[in-house]
Amino acid sequence: MQFRHIYTDGRKHPDDPDPTFMGHSTGHWEGDTLVAESVGFTESTQLADGVPHSDKLRIVERFRRVNPDFMEIQTTLIDPVVLAEPYTSTRSYRHLDDEIREYICLENNRDSADDKGRPGLSLEKR
């Protein structure tokens, strides 16, 4: 449900990327496959639940549309400090349509509920 920029204009990663949750991504095409490489992740980005990464983490993804209804993504995690060897997984996703929809993040949600559990919004401190 999220989107990110994958720069395909030939640029390189910055020498010292500003860390972001999804990293800095560059990509190129190999036939019908988009190959994206990402670096520069924040500490809150984890390899798995409770598994941190080092500043050497690099993620390579290979996006390929298998047929009109399915997309396959092969993901390789490379972190020589944390992992003994690169870890690769492949997943298939069903394509419902080609429209990218807005993602609404509920992080730091400040909505409240009254004494009976009904939703409400209060701007006053409690």
Instruction: Compare 49 and 75 and report the one with higher pLDDT.
Output: 75
* 120 inside domain: no
34 domain residue, yes or no:
yes
- Let me know if residue 110 belongs to a domain: no
88 falls within a domain: yes
Query: What DSSP assignment string belongs to 19-59?
Result: -BSS-EEEEEEETTEEEEEEE-B-TT--SBTTB---TT-EE
- Domain range enclosing 80: 6-101
Residue 116 lies in a domain: no
The answer on pLDDT for 105 being more than 90 is no
Neighbours of 49 (CB within 10 A): 5
How many domains, the chain?
Answer: 1
C-alpha to C-alpha distance for 23 and 5, rounded to whole angstroms: 10
Of 70-74, 94-98, 99-103, 106-110, least confident by mean pLDDT is: 106-110
Residue 112 covered by a domain? no
First to last CA, the chain: 33
Residue-averaged pLDDT of the chain: 85
Q: Binning pLDDT at 50, 70 and 90, where does residue 42 land?
A: very high
Residue 108 lies in a domain: no
In a domain, 75, yes or no: yes
